[in-house]
Amino acid sequence: MSKEAANKREVMSAIEKLIAIMTMLRDKKHGCPWDLEQTISSLLPYTLEEVYEVADAIENNDLVELEDELGDLLFQVIFYAQIASEHGAFDFQDIATAISNKLVRRHPHVFPNGDIGQFGVEQEISAEQVVVNWEAIKEAEREEKSSRAGKKANLEAVSLLDDVPRALPAIERARKLQKRAAQLGFDWAEISPVLDKLKEEILEFEEALALGDVEKISDELGDVLFATVNLARHSNVEPEVALRSANRRFENRFKWIESALYSQGKALQDANLQELDTLWNQAKAHGL
């Protein structure tokens, strides 16, 4: 490396340095064999893993770990941008420009007339109206995307649900599908009928169990889960967050039971169900 090149890298911003490192890792002559083998599709499992590791750091209130995990997630974005750039699709600057434009467009109450130079001009608007405007702007964006994709030629082919990603975790996709449908009034106004629907789905699940129809059991259980997500939405609870919290409580209580049994010279398999249930309630009483 020349002295000039070294000096240039010294004055790079952190993001410029990261982009440069990614370019080197994908260099066909001197790069990393593993990085060179990756495609946009092959990166998906790693991206999902990084997202969940970010979530775990947040749930543990571990800001040191969060800094590290956010770096890993940012690297995923840089990785996708590099591969796309190699195919002449887009690069990191395009990504940054697109999100900047979107943020300005979706916040007219902060940037009047879509001009960041107008930042600071007072706008009278409530939080509720911000949400209404946000959804209207997103709907306009969806229509524009549909038009660019050639769907405008056949209006019947356009659905409000078209751009809900199928790759989302099932719970999150269920929530988004329900939220989208609710925009057109396909929803209950109160929580009571949502509870009734959940009870109805549980009864249908019990009937499927009685019949022993494996496919029907799976379908009805899916309906129970979908109705449960709807109940969470109407309760203003994020179902994914609620389930992760339940997982964490189960894990803490289970470990407490293991520890309690170990202190008695027992293993988990040595205890009967009644003992385990008693210990479970004790774990709950300890605030776990």
Tell me, what's the pLDDT at 160?
A: 76
Tell me, what's the pLDDT at 3?
A: 58
- Taking alpha carbons only, the member of 247, 244, 250 closest to residue 284 is 250
Count of domains observed in the chain: 4
How far is 267 from 259, CA to CA, in rounded Å?
A: 9
How far is 184 from 127, CA to CA, in rounded Å?
A: 21
Is the confidence at residue 178, as pLDDT, over 70? Answer: yes
7 with 92, same domain: the answer is: yes
Residue 6 pLDDT class (50, 70, 90 cuts): low
23 with 85, same domain: the answer is: yes
Lowest-pLDDT choice from 97-111, 192-206, 212-226: 97-111
Tell me, what's the pLDDT at 64?
A: 95
76 with 20, same domain: the answer is: yes
- Taking alpha carbons only, the member of 73, 77, 131, 79 closest to residue 106 is 131
Tell me, what's the pLDDT at 25?
A: 97
15 with 85, same domain: the answer is: yes
With 0-12 CB in 10 A as exposed, 13-18 as middle and 19+ as buried, what is 204? middle
Q: Is residue 113 part of a domain?
A: no
Mean pLDDT of 185-201: 95
Is the confidence at residue 156, as pLDDT, over 90? Answer: no
Is the confidence at residue 133, as pLDDT, over 70? Answer: yes
219 with 269, same domain: the answer is: no
111 in Cβ contact with 119 (< 8 Å): yes
- Taking alpha carbons only, the member of 252, 260, 259 closest to residue 284 is 252
99 with 16, same domain: the answer is: yes
Is the confidence at residue 76, as pLDDT, over 90? Answer: yes
Is the confidence at residue 72, as pLDDT, over 80? Answer: yes
Residue 123 pLDDT class (50, 70, 90 cuts): confident
Is the confidence at residue 79, as pLDDT, over 70? Answer: yes
100 with 23, same domain: the answer is: yes
33 with 102, same domain: the answer is: yes
**For a pLDDT cut of 70, what percent of the chain falls above it?**
91
Tell me, what's the pLDDT at 231?
A: 97
What CATH number has the domain bearing residue 205? 1.10.287.1080
Range of the domain at 136: 118-158
Residue 109 pLDDT class (50, 70, 90 cuts): confident
Residue 7 pLDDT class (50, 70, 90 cuts): low
176 with 266, same domain: the answer is: no
Residue with the bigger pLDDT between 246 and 112: it is: 246
Residue with the bigger pLDDT between 151 and 45: it is: 45
Is the confidence at residue 249, as pLDDT, over 70? Answer: yes
Tokens found for residue 159: 């659905």
The model's pLDDT over 39-60, given as tens digits with 9 standing for 90+, comes to 999 998 899 899 989 988 998 8
Residue 163 pLDDT class (50, 70, 90 cuts): confident
Residue with the bigger pLDDT between 27 and 164: it is: 27
**For a pLDDT cut of 90, what percent of the chain falls above it?**
62
93 with 129, same domain: the answer is: no
